[in-house]
Structure 1
Amino acid sequence: MSGVDWVDVHHHAYHGRLADALAARGVTHMAPGVPVPRWDPADTVAVMAEHDLAAVVLSVLVPDAALVLPDAAALVRQTNEWTAEVVRERPERFGLLATLPLPDLDAALAEVAHAYDVLGADGVVLPASLADGAILGDPGLDPLLAELDRRDAVVFLHPNPHYRCSCTGASDFAAAVPPPLVDFVMDTTRAVANLLFRGALRRFPRIRFVLAHGGGTIPFLVGRLELARTWVLPGQDGSVGEELGRLYYETAQSSTAAALACVEAVARPGHVLFGTDFPFMGAAVVGQTRREVAAHRPDIGAAGLALFPRLRAAARR
């Protein structure tokens, strides 16, 4: 099976220089039990060769503990510059999703301009929730979403790496059940529901949201959210299914037959993308994810290339 059109849209670039910069600020973990990795582009090149991937789209989420420091905007700018260097070296293999120094809205808007107009970014990555307690979809973030909408942006919606979800257990819950297992998917779910019921998906229709990890629990909850609309938003035209169907869903940690069937029951044709969550998920998991996705949807790569046309053009050379 050829990998000519297999694009991994969930692939993280935690540069060694970034790990050092975070450590100098006292930040060593993304979440309890999840240390900041030390990534090297050669690691990704090896995984791509081993598992026949045509391209990967690189992203970084900076932990909250660093984003609340006075030099957060400078650290984010440097991180995006480091990733852009990697992309320039292999433009046919790597894409760039720029990170933003949220919750500083003005700095985030400045970084959007720099990412697109200077670095040639393919999109941005946004956390589902912010260090100041805001959730993606809150009205205070409308200026950022408006600018991304103006740019027809691809926005990778990823759970906050340092997030605590108060609804999933007692104060010691994270010690027993690491946040990536439950809290992360709930963080994504809450953000998508907030975007939906606050009307942000309708106000900013040109943003192409890509939901990490199969959309959290959103595909499973579509029917419940549709019923809720009858009393939360009575009389509004359209349906929850239609609005959620135009979002994109990627397969990292969501590649079992049951999970993919649930996602495909919601997503429009062409809106299911391949993703792996490397390097947090190692090479063996990348291979397992690829095999599971290929068994269910062998043509999935076309969707990734359609969403990232620069990589599509490179793949044809």
Structure 2
Amino acid sequence: MPYETPAVGRRRLLLMAPAAAAAATTADPAGAAPRHTTGSPGHPGADARAARIDVHHHYTAPAWLAWAERAGLVDPAQLPWWTRWDLDTTLALMDRAGIAKAVVSPAMPVRGFTSPAQRRESVAVALDAAAELTAAHPDRFAFFTPVFPDDPETSRWSIARGLDELGAVGVQTRANTRGVYLGDPSHDRLLAELDERSAVINTHPHELPGTDPARPAVPGIPAFYCDFPLDTTRAAVNLVLNGTLDRYPRLSFVLPHGGGFLPFIATRMEAFAHFLTPKTDAARVRDYLHRFYYDTAAPLGEPAASALLAVADPTRILYGSDWPASPAATITDIAGPALDRDSGLTLLQRRRINRDNALRLMPALADHPRTPGR
């Protein structure tokens, strides 16, 4: 999660490019507005624009915020706006954006804990809040459980508590932890345990190693603006380099923000794969680019969408809002209409991105289909 306040420009965005869309024949009325009703989203030809599943949703639980303040870990007045998550505001945004269900990622904006026990208590409070939210609104929310590659014990506890007991649909982790990127051999024990569960690993970037979040490397350019996409790209390349998906074939990695810079450098990665250490061949690069999942949060513009669709099948792309880090207007007025009307994708392709791909990847999301209202 970004700790700085982003200044998101209100520019015209095209989410998906027609030239790169995979073949499909289902037509869609031109310029049709989203229908904010549930209708019959399970029907193969149904429009899923009012039944989106959002896999990129940050959740700083009010209960966790109160706990962290009591523990002296945060000063709410100094925290960025996206930590002020509110249920009514969120549900209203989801209704306007046609989001039927959001998979929330517990966000705990603390730079350091006083002890491992305090960190585990933090995770416990966040997980309990996410589970309570899901239980109170099973048709609207699900959640990921956090894991920490630098803290195997807390991670194993979070996996057992979140996945096995509370019903999380996957895990959430950072692209790099203390400068060590996903796929590093030091993560093998954790990845093996997740592989046994065929886990979905939802990733998110952060500040680049060696940078101070309070002092941007380039004055005036916050980390989320350029560094976050690079952080995601580094993690993806490291996963390729270490053959992580070959060693743990039941894992599914979701790369945020359209995969960062990865789609743009796909050809470069293939051409110069032999310069990596150890040497890698182009075939592995291509294979991994097709095996990753990608979310649409950014928001994605036409150039990024074209590049993404050139390396990823639409069945591997998932809808993501980035709420509440992204302003409501960006989600409802820019990203949504771009996908709904201006993408060039067919109804079936948009349906897959909006909903079906997430259901196929995380079938438990279908346990509580949306009903009208809350």
TM-score, length of structure 1 as denominator length = 0.89
1:41 CA drift (Å): 2.1
The aligned residue for residue 250 of structure 1 is 295
Distance in 1 between residues matched to 2:93 and 2:50, nearest whole Å? 15
Q: Which segments of 5 or more consecutive residues in structure 1 lack a partner in the other structure?
A: none
Give CA deviations for 1:224-267 in whole Å, capped at 9, x if unaligned: 11122234355758331221111111111142122111111111
- Indicate conservation of the 8 Å contact 1:149/1:204, yes or no: yes
Match of 1:274 in 2: 319
Q: Does 1:13 align with 2:59?
A: yes
Where in structure 2 are the equivalents of 1:172-187 lying within 5 Å? Answer: 172-173=216-217, 175-187=219-231
Q: 4+ residue stretches of structure 1 with deviation over 4 A?
A: 32-36, 233-237
Cα distance in 1 for partners of 2:97, 2:153 equals 41
Aligned-partner Cα distance in 2 for 1:101–1:40: 26
Q: CA deviation at 1:109?
A: 1.4
Distance in 2 between residues matched to 1:150 and 1:192, nearest whole Å: 21
Q: Which has the larger radius of gyration?
A: 2
Structure 1 residue 189 corresponds to structure 2 residue 233? yes
Structure 1 residue 125, shift from structure 2 partner: 0.6
Q: Please tell me the root mean square deviation across aligned C-alpha atoms, in Å.
A: 2.5
Deviation, structure 1 residue 100: 2.5
User: Is structure 2 residue 140 aligned with structure 1 residue 93?
Assistant: yes
Match of 1:208 among 252, 257, 260: 252
Q: Secondary structure at the match of 1:209?
A: strand
Q: Which residue does the alignment assign to 1:307?
A: 361
Greater relative contact order structure (CA < 8 Å, 6+ sep):
2
For 1:53-74, what per-residue CA distance to the aligned partner results, in whole angstroms no more than 9, with x for missing partners?
Answer: 1111100243461357431111
User: Structure 2: which 5+ runs fail to align?
Assistant: 1-33, 36-48
Secondary structure at the aligned position of 2:55 is classed as strand
2:154 is matched with which residue?
107
Picking from 223, 230, 233, the partner of 2:274 is: 230
Map residues 35-184 of structure 1 onto 2, 5 A cutoff: 37-63=83-109, 65-66=111-112, 69-70=115-116, 71-130=118-177, 132-160=178-206, 163-165=207-209, 172-173=216-217, 175-184=219-228
Of 241, 265, 268 in structure 1, the residue corresponding to residue 286 of structure 2 is 241
SS at match of 1:78: helix
Give 1:191 deviation, angstroms. Answer: 0.9
Give the TM-score, by structure 2 length. 0.76
**C-alpha contact (below 8 Å) 2:139/2:370 kept by paired residues:** no
- Partner letter of residue 57 of structure 1? V
8 A Cα contact 2:253 2:292, kept in partner: yes
SS at match of 2:180: coil
Aligned length: 310
Match of 2:13 in 1: none
Percent sequence identity over matched residues? Answer: 32
Hey, what does 1:291 align to over in structure 2?
A: 337
Shift of residue 211, structure 1, vs aligned partner:
0.6
